[in-house]
Amino acid sequence: MRLILKILNLAVFPITLISALLLFISGQSPALSPVYSSTLALIGMAFPVWIILNLILLLYWAIQFKLKLLIPLFSILFHAQSIQLYLQWNSNTTDSAEVPLKVVTYNSNLFGINRNTSDVDSIIGIIREQDPDVVVLQEVFHPDKKLKTFVRWLGSKWNLKYSEYYQLSPNRNYGMCILSRYRIKNWDKVYFEQPTGNMAMYADIGIPDPNNSQSERSIRIYNIHLQSIRFNKTDYKAIEEVNSEKDFDKTTTEGIINRIRIAYEKRAPQVDALKEEIKDCNLPKMIIGDFNDVPISYTYFELSEDLNDAFVTRGNGLETTYKGPFPSFRIDYQLYSNPIQCLKYESIKKVPSDHKMIVGTYEVNELFY
């Protein structure tokens, strides 16, 4: 028995070293743009996998009281801060909010049109229950109504008087929008150089001073929807077969990996364009939307620089915002700058989309001091 265990340990030890190395590489992957190495980005996307593997190996060596347990232990402790991007234990509070701002962000998945159904009424009802001050939507589409008309109609259902939209092309009622209870003073598109079905926009919203009805302060809210992987039906079928532990086509799987690589390479220049735009903004700001990327990524680390993450500040538990067949990740975010403070974070799973709805409640009273 001892001989068998000794042989097993000889086999597990190099796996321990490789696992620790992969965890380290994944943790450092955001430092390099996927334009230069999409392989590194793929390793970073699997960060939770490397954490779990190192936890298993830590337990394996700990049971035997082997000093080799220090390898996975130090690897995990070294990445403790990164783990917090996925897992949190926070409490929420809205009791002290003098000037609360409730923000909903949601990828509506074309309001169900791609599933030959209409989720319009359901989505209207769910968002109405939240009674938000600002709603930020991606993948907005209506087969009959013009996008401008549809967005304004949605605003009337949520008692949000002001709205702006970004239509991707003149001949298609598809785009994104920002709806607000407060006046939208200015807005614009953020242009991406390469042709893409993804987009970004911003709106400057005037928040009324609670002590002076004639005064207001502006915050800028960015609505972003970055490069999607664009799986086709064959890809989704292959993913479902992997999830159900059925045999899968190796060629199809390689195609899926290639699509992910391409998405990373196309997303990076979009992130760079956004970073330049955000750098020139001197207003308190919120970066909100569907990043289509995980927390350990070039996308997240570039866009979250000098900003707070609502989930990290007020989230609780293991967060995943994507609900489709692909392994679940946190890819939808609400980031914000000082002096805005997050009081409450919630993700709503029971919504008709492949994304959860994210609801953040903020205190903006400090804007007026």
> Would you tell me the crossing angle of helices 38-45 and 250-279 to the nearest 10 degrees?
100
The number of beta carbons lying within 10 Å of the beta carbon of residue 41 is 29
Amino acid at 160: L
Is pLDDT at 87 greater than 70 in this prediction?
A: yes
With 0-12 CB in 10 A as exposed, 13-18 as middle and 19+ as buried, what is 314? buried
Select from 33, 76, 52, 53 the least CA-distant residue to 293.
33
Q: What is the DSSP letter of 259?
A: H
SS3 343: strand
Tokens for 250?
């190796």
Taking residues 327-342, what's their average pLDDT? Answer: 92
CA distance 252 to 231: 11
Tokens for 262?
């391409």
Mean pLDDT for the chain overall: 90
pLDDT band for 329, please (50, 70, 90 cuts). Answer: confident
Q: What is the DSSP letter of 25?
A: H
Can you say how many angstroms the Cα of residue 92 is from the centroid of all Cα atoms in its chain?
20
Can you say how many angstroms the Cα of residue 135 is from the centroid of all Cα atoms in its chain?
16
The predicted pLDDT at position 247 comes to: 53
Where do the structural domains in the chain lie, given as residue ranges?
Answer: 2-83, 91-368
Tokens for 301?
């680390």
Tokens for 178?
């920002």
What CATH superfamily is the domain 91-368?
Endonuclease/exonuclease/phosphatase (3.60.10.10)
The predicted pLDDT at position 138 comes to: 97
Tokens for 143?
């087969």
Taking residues 215-225, what's their average pLDDT? Answer: 95
Is pLDDT at 225 greater than 90 in this prediction?
A: yes
Which secondary-structure segment (H or E) carries 362?
strand 357-363
With 0-12 CB in 10 A as exposed, 13-18 as middle and 19+ as buried, what is 282? exposed
Tokens for 362?
């903020």
The predicted pLDDT at position 120 comes to: 94
pLDDT band for 58, please (50, 70, 90 cuts). Answer: very high
Reported pTM: 0.91
Among 20-29, 90-99, 129-138, 300-309, the range scoring the smallest mean pLDDT is 90-99
CA distance 364 to 16: 48
The predicted pLDDT at position 2 comes to: 81
The predicted pLDDT at position 172 comes to: 85
Among 13-17, 69-73, 194-198, the range scoring the smallest mean pLDDT is 194-198
Among 116-125, 258-267, 323-332, the range scoring the smallest mean pLDDT is 323-332
